[in-house]
Structure formats: structure tokens, C-alpha cells
Amino acid sequence: MQRCFTKIYATPDERPSPPDALWALESSLDVQWAHAIAPNARIVLVEAASSSLDDRKSAIALATTPARPVQASSS
């Protein structure tokens, strides 16, 4: 059976970055909405090392190789 949710850390050591309450809430809401709208979809969350623009660009690059995202959130 294929998992419907996978979390990938876009950090050098592939470990979670320090928590940020606002980003965590945003990510959680995005994943919950995606699952509610498409319950059988395979959701992959790529978490950036920090909220810096460079780290977010690196996470987007990781997320889009080789897959093509349907939705990317950085609000």
C-alpha cells in the first residue's frame, strides 16, 4: 500500500529544522486542505531548512526534481 503523505527535509543532514510555529501552522493547513480536496492523492511535503529565500528556493528545487508540483505554498 502506498503512503498518502511523505515529509522530506531539505536540510544538509536531512533532519528537521528548528520549529517555527507560524510556518508549521501554514504547512499543516496546506496539507490538511490538500488531503480534504483529494483524499487519495499522494502528498509530499518538502520542508525548507529555514524561512530564508535561499533555503526556500533549495526546497522548491528539491520538490520539483523529478516531480512536478501541483501546489506550492510559501505564504
**In 3D, which of 3, 71, 15, 75 has the Cα closest to residue 47?**
15
pLDDT recorded at residue 37 = 92
> What pLDDT is recorded for position 71?
65
Residue 23 is predicted with a pLDDT of 82
Q: How far apart are CA 25 and CA 66, in angstroms?
A: 27
Q: What local confidence, expressed as pLDDT, does residue 19 receive?
A: 77
Supply the pTM of this predicted model.
0.75
Helix (H, G, I), strand (E, B) or coil at 41: coil
The confidence score (pLDDT) of residue 16 equals 72
Per-residue model confidence as pLDDT tens digits over 16-71: 777 788 888 888 999 999 999 999 888 989 988 888 899 889 998 888 887 666 66
